[in-house]
Amino acid sequence: MPVYKVKVKWGKEVYDAIDLDTDLETAVFKAQVFALTSVPIERQKLMFKGKVISGASWDAYQIKDGITLLMMGTADKIPEEPIEKPKFIEDMSENELTTALDLPSGLTNLGNTCYLNATVQCLKTIPELKEAITKFVNSHDSGSFAPNVTASLRDLFGTMESRSVVAPMVFLTVFHMAFPRFAEKSPDGNLIQHDAAECWTSLMRSLQQDLKTSDKQGTGDNITEARASKNQNFIEQYFEGNFAVTMKNTESEIEEETKTVEKFLHLSCFISNHEVKYLQSGLKYSILEETLTKFSPTLQRDCLFTKKSLLARLPAYLTIQIMRFEYKGREAKILKEIKFGLTLDVFEMCTPELQEKLLPMRNKFKAQEDKLLAESQNADRKKDDKKGDKKDEKPKYQYPYYFKDDIGSNNSGYYELQAVLTHKGRNIASGHYLAWIKRNKDEWFQCDDDNVTQVTTDDILRLSGGGDWHCAYLLLYGPRVLEVDDKPDNPDI
């Protein structure tokens, strides 16, 4: 791949040894120049030998090592002194200091990119994904600016760890190059709003192509050898589930029912049925049984078939899309309220075989809950004894949330909500997307692009819809982890 080292002269400033890859669009190089000079791409006027560089390709220019490109353009205006004076750390109260230094990083909206910002914020809540993407090594990491979405997302995650607000210009450029439909613009030249669910799917596709799992997985006492016989694709391990599907012809008694296995990376919750008011019932309505028309090899004509689906493999992370947009002549959004919980139990939607495998861990959860209840009742009776005598209540051991021979699965059927992506507006191509993310137990944040604020669990539950306020569109559930005070003698499940 032809990569050249070039110079850029901007006024009195000269920037040396900038990588210029002629296989990539000119916008990628301009994004690098923006990172160096703070001159926005739309204000940059790059010239070579008196000729203005225009278009997306470098084919018309004789690029080689050591050449100098002349740039004209003004950088973003230096911010004026704020009316409200900044408060220094030493002047802050304890609560103000905690809030100022401990908020998740925000992402700047670069023009109708809230759908992308919200998706990135939700994905960043997954610790295993953060670890896997940090270890990802792209073949072009040695120097050239390569359009790899996974590598760019890795770099963005890293930057978000150290800055309170990040302008994801380079990531957006790479994302647009990988998925050009998201770079479409309106007649007035502005980026078009896009569907966050499509963005989510596109990012997952890129991660699925690039991320492999390590030979050892887990932390502390829970490190487990990855079985060689298992799929070593990270996304498929942690996000892919299986359906056991049975298809029966309702118009023929002699035609045998067929049994197949279908894979999924997310579940769809259809809510157009007026009886659906809760996430759990919506999932059952969407998954367990449906009627469809297909060709019957026995009767040699189209017939009605009953399709029954049960969950045969549970992924650690369960993504659920609430199907709020439907098309009846024109696009319409379903604003009805669909209540969801901070926890989710999918045991009833599993095959009998999987239910049998889930029972041991579910019994452990039940035993721990009974123990905590008994301790709580005993503490109430002795609440006046030894006041102020507190001990460390942090659990000392966490059970693995996956089956020993299936890393990345869920071994209980219990999930906990850890991110919600919402949409406000009446149209999928307009409105505004937000991310609501959980960092620690009951610690939630609203990520409205670069404006991040702490919220309560009650605020999260109010995202169920029913009006023009933000409605839950994508729900991300993670595995519920069993925590106990002491490591058991036999932790195997």
Mean pLDDT confidence for 312-339:
85
Burial of 355 (0-12, 13-18, 19+ CB in 10 A): middle
Same domain membership, residue 176 and residue 324: no
Residue with tokens 């990012």: 203
Same domain membership, residue 434 and residue 301: yes
Ranges 17-31, 68-82, 175-189, most confident: 175-189
Q: Which of 215, 233, 268 is the last residue of a domain?
A: 215
Q: What is the pLDDT of residues 149-159, one digit of tens each?
A: 999 999 999 99
Same domain membership, residue 147 and residue 53: no
Average pLDDT taken over every residue of the chain: 85
What pLDDT score was predicted for residue 222? 45
Q: Could you tell me what percentage of the chain is helix, strand and coil, using 3-state DSSP and rounding each to the nearest 5?
A: 30, 30, 40
What pLDDT score was predicted for residue 144? 46
- Confidence band (pLDDT; 50, 70, 90) for 271? confident
pLDDT of residue 344 exceeding 60, the answer is yes
pLDDT of residue 142 exceeding 50, the answer is no
Q: For residues 60 and 30, is the Cβ–Cβ distance under 8 A?
A: no
Q: What is the pLDDT of residues 70-92, one digit of tens each?
A: 999 888 766 666 666 666 656 66
Same domain membership, residue 343 and residue 290: yes
pLDDT of residue 460 exceeding 90, the answer is yes
Q: Which of 72, 97, 123 is the last residue of a domain?
A: 72
pLDDT of residue 43 exceeding 50, the answer is yes
| Residue 488 maps to a domain | no
Task: Report the 3 state secondary structure along 70-110.
Answer: EEECCCCCCCCCCCCCCCCHHHCCHHHHHHHHCCCCEECCC
Q: How far apart are CA 64 and CA 286, in angstroms?
A: 58
| Residue 316 maps to a domain | yes
**Domain count within the chain:** 3
Residue whose C-alpha is closest to residue 319's, from 207, 160, 447, 428: 207
CATH of the domain at 163: 3.90.70.10
| Residue 62 maps to a domain | yes
Give the Cβ contact number of residue 289 at 10 Å.
Answer: 13
| Residue 389 maps to a domain | no
What pLDDT score was predicted for residue 240? 96
Same domain membership, residue 120 and residue 33: no
Q: 255 is in which domain, residue-wise?
A: 241-349+407-483
Same domain membership, residue 332 and residue 186: no
Same domain membership, residue 251 and residue 334: yes
Q: How far apart are CA 158 and CA 135, in angstroms?
A: 11
pLDDT of residue 127 exceeding 60, the answer is yes
What pLDDT score was predicted for residue 137? 86
| Residue 468 maps to a domain | yes
Q: What are phi and psi of 345, to 5 degrees?
A: -120, 120
pLDDT of residue 451 exceeding 80, the answer is yes
Same domain membership, residue 343 and residue 465: yes
Same domain membership, residue 463 and residue 414: yes
Same domain membership, residue 257 and residue 190: no
| Residue 127 maps to a domain | yes
What pLDDT score was predicted for residue 156? 96
What pLDDT score was predicted for residue 220? 42
pTM of the predicted structure, to 2 decimals: 0.75
Q: How far apart are CA 455 and CA 235, in angstroms?
A: 30
Q: How far apart are CA 178 and CA 318, in angstroms?
A: 25
| Residue 17 maps to a domain | yes
Q: Which of 72, 97, 124 is the last residue of a domain?
A: 72
Structure tokens at 223: 């490190």
Same domain membership, residue 251 and residue 138: no
| Residue 234 maps to a domain | no
Range in 225-234, 315-324, 478-487 the model is least confident about: 225-234
**Sign of CA pseudo-dihedral 195, 108, 103, 83:** negative
Helix (H) or strand (E) holding 456: none
Same domain membership, residue 256 and residue 124: no
Q: Which residues pair with residue 422 across a beta bridge?
A: 434, 472
CATH of the domain at 41: 3.10.20.90
Using DSSP bridges, classify how beta strands 241-249 and 258-264 pair: parallel, antiparallel or unpaired: antiparallel
Catalytic residue IDs: 114, 432
% the chain with pLDDT above 90: 54
- Confidence band (pLDDT; 50, 70, 90) for 480? very high
pLDDT of residue 1 exceeding 60, the answer is no
